[in-house]
Structure formats: structure tokens, C-alpha cells
Homo-oligomer: A and B are copies of this chain.
Amino acid sequence: MQITRPTLLLDKTRVQRNIGKMVEKARRHGVTLRPHFKTHQSAQIGEWFRDHGIDRITVSSIEMAHYFAQNGWRDILIAFPVNIRAIDTLNMLAQTLSLHLVVESQETIAYLIRHLKQPATLWLKVDTGYGRTGVPTSNEELLLTLTEQIVWTPHLQLGGLLAHAGHSYFARSPEEVVAIFDDTRKQLYYLKTMLEQACGIEIQISVGDTPGCSLATKFDGIDEIRPGNFVFYDLMQLRLGACEEQDIAVAVACPVVAKHADRNEVIIHGGAVHLSKETLEEDGQPPHYGYVCRLLDDRWSLHLNGARVRALSQEHGIVSLPRQDFERIRIGELLVVLPVHSCLTANLMRGYLTFDDEALDMMR
């Protein structure tokens, strides 16, 4: 590998293993895996999922739906509240796709009833405690109204209830992650039963979030899971106990450009435009932007204990190191940074390099 600038390394063995494990877990629990492709945004990595029999996917934007549709995917859920300004593109996509959309208001559904010219499946976005968006589970009346609004419209189909229990990211232990997942599952199951009885139709349940799907062992009542980050994992997931360090499958190789012996710090080319400004706080220490590893022939090492990306500006990263590590590092060599949040890092890096020197593209 001839690396001259910040480069997103991808460990293909780990990615394949992460995919295989989640596929097997979904199979074992009898749930459909509809992986979220916003993490990798890559047609080539998408094919690795297809090799495992995956044929339904989740994306986070209309542009991403378009990209994966062009790459042969035919059953796509856009897991973001419908943006009615993009109705023309949605109509175009719905012509060729089994298109799944997310709604949470009467206004948006009314708009789709009038302007969506193709059949589509709508999912009701439910907020099970994350507090981002969706109908709060307590608002059963609105959920009932929305359900009736959809089932009375011929060209709209109701998929069911969809939630992203993103509050799992604030959990302080794997047990808490599982408790949040379980709470979401039960809340949705209660609503499903209520709506099925009231409207006489079948309601499916779709849940997301990598921490929950990685750690939970009980999926009763769930029809579909939509984790995405598990394909790469990252330091946030490691902190939550959702993965091991050896599961983290992407990392940024960064050239060392300066050393500061007075403060045991080196400067890398690897800044906010490569890693993102996502931070991680651990053990009451100041927030940091990533762990630091050495580059080996066919992989990166385990992280150097006590080494952290302490600060970032647009292109610079400041890496703080224990003295003995600092002394071994030479200007011009590469350090490898494990990202705090791999989705944002991949989104910035716009491509991958495997240890077989294969370059993988992402959507533009």
C-alpha cells in the first residue's frame, strides 16, 4: 500500500465477519435484516450483503435511495420522515422500487395521498424514548388516526410501526442497552396489538440501532431489524460494549508531520474533515477524537494504551502519547486512528482502501 495522505482503511475480514454475525443472528431469531446502508454508502460493500442473501435495505436520504437503486437494489426503506419537497424524486423512485417511507403526521400523509402517484408502503415512526422524532408511544390517538388515514387510501400500504431507540447510545452499560431495546420492543408490541384490534389489519414492527441489535437476545414480536453501524462498528460501540476492539473494521491512516517532545505529542494529517468532530468522553477524561494504533503489514495493531487524538482542527490532528510510544514514532510514518463514529468518518472520507489494495467507492 502506497499511502501518501489520510486514507480510510477497511479490514475486509472484519466487515465480512460483522455482516455474517448479524445475518446469522437475524436468522436465528426469525427476524428480517434490513441493514442500514448509510454507514458505508458503498455499492461494493452492498454486494457483500447481497452475498449473504440480503435483498432489502435501509437508507437515510432520497439521494442514497437513488444511488442504491441504480446499483440494483429493489426494496428500499428511506428511514427519515418524508420530505414532501422531494415528491417528484419519490414518485420517480416508486416507479421501479418497492419503496418504503416513514411518516409521523397527518399533514405529510395527506400530502402523499394527493401527490404520490405510485404505490408505496408507509411506516409510522414511533418515538419510544429517544426524543428525536416520531409519535410518542403515549399518543395512541394520533397513531390510530394515522393508521386509519393510510389504510383507507388504496395506493398506500401500511407497513407497520418503526422505531429507532437511539437513546441506547447514552447507556452506561450493555445491560442498559438491552433494557432500552426490550422496553422499545414491548412498547411497540403493545401498540401493534392495539392497532391490529382497532383496525383489523396486520401491523409489523421494525426496529433499528446497532447497540440494541448487537446485544439483545430476545426479539419476540419484532419482524424486522435495521442496524447499520455494525458493519464497521467504532469507539462509541466499543464503549457501549456492543463490539470488541477487534470488530472495528475501518480506521484512518494518517501521516505524521511533526513531533513535539516537550509535550509528547505528534501532529498528524488527519483533522475534522477526515475524522469528524464527534467526540467520546470516557472515565471523566477530557473528550477525545479517537484511539491511535500502529500500522502493521496486513492490519492495524490494538490501540496504544493512553494514546488519544486530543484535538482536531480542519486538517491537523494532535495525538497525545505515552513517552515510550512518542519516542518510537518517526516523522513521515503512518498512525492509524480508530474513529469515534465510523458513519461520520466514512461520510467524510468518501472511499475505502482494503489491505489487498482494493479501492472501494462510495456514492458521490
Q: How large is the interface on A (under 10, 10 to 19, 20 to 34, 35 or more residues)?
A: 35 or more
User: Is A122 located at the chain interface by the 8 A CB criterion?
Assistant: no
- Say yes or no for A360: interface residue by CB 8 A criterion: no
Q: A269: CB under 8 A from chain B?
A: yes
Residues of B within 8 A of A297 (CB): none
Whether A269 touches B343, Cβ cut-off 8 Å, given contacts A5-B62, A259-B105, A277-B278, is no
Interface residue SS majority, chain A: mixed
Which residues of A78-100 are within 8 A (CB) of B?
Answer: 80-86, 88-89
Q: Would A85 and B4 count as touching, CB distance under 8 A?
A: yes
A:246-300 near B, CB below 8 Å: 255, 257-260, 262-263, 267, 269, 272-273, 276-278
Q: Is A47 an interface residue (CB 8 A)?
A: no
A133-B316, A276-B277, A314-B60 known; A331 vs B105 contact (CB < 8 Å): yes
- Does chain B have a CB within 8 A of A318? yes
Which of B3, B133, B257 is the one whose CB lies under 8 Å from A267? B133
Query: From residue A333, how far is it (CB to closest CB) to chain B in Å?
Result: 9
Question: Closest CB of chain B to A346's CB: distance in Å?
Answer: 10
Interface string of A319-357 (1 = CB under 8 A from B): 000000000001110100000000110011000000000
Q: Count chain B CB atoms within 10 A of each CB in A3, A267, A330 and give the residue with the most.
A: A267
CB contacts (< 8 Å) of A344 on chain B: these are: 272-273, 277, 314
Residues of B within 8 A of A314 (CB): 38, 60, 343-344, 347
Among residues of B, the one whose C-beta sits closest to the C-beta of A87 is B4
Does A190 lie at the interface of the complex (its beta carbon under 8 Å from any beta carbon of B)?
no
Nearest CB in chain B: distance from A285 CB, A: 18
A11 within 8 A of B: no
In the complex, A222 has a CB within 8 A of chain B: no
- CB pair B316 A63 closer than 8 Å: no
Q: Say yes or no for A136: interface residue by CB 8 A criterion.
A: yes
> Any chain B CB within 8 A of the CB of A216?
no
* Distance, CA A131 to CA B320, complexed state (A): 12
The chain B residue with its CB closest to the CB of A138 is: B262
The answer, yes or no, to whether A149 is at the interface (CB within 8 Å) is no
Q: Is A121 in the interface zone, CB < 8 Å from B?
A: no
Q: Does A311 sit within 8 A of B, measured CB to CB? A: yes
Question: CB distance B81 to A257 under 8 Å?
Answer: yes
The chain A residues found within 8 Å of chain B, CB to CB, are 3-5, 38, 60-63, 80-86, 88-89, 104-105, 107-108, 111, 131-134, 136, 166, 255, 257-260, 262-263, 267, 269, 272-273, 276-278, 311, 313-316, 318, 330-332, 334, 343-344, 347-348, 364
Can you list 20 contacts pairing A with B, beta carbon distance less than 8 Å?
A4-B88, A5-B63, A38-B314, A60-B314, A80-B269, A83-B269, A83-B332, A84-B255, A84-B331, A85-B334, A105-B258, A107-B331, A107-B332, A108-B257, A108-B331, A132-B316, A133-B318, A272-B278, A277-B277, A364-B364
- Closest 3 A/B residue pairs (Cβ): A81-B257, A277-B277, A84-B332
For the complex with contacts A3-B85, A5-B85, A104-B258, 6 further pairs of A-B residues with Cβ separation under 8 Å are: A80-B257, A107-B330, A108-B257, A111-B332, A133-B267, A364-B364
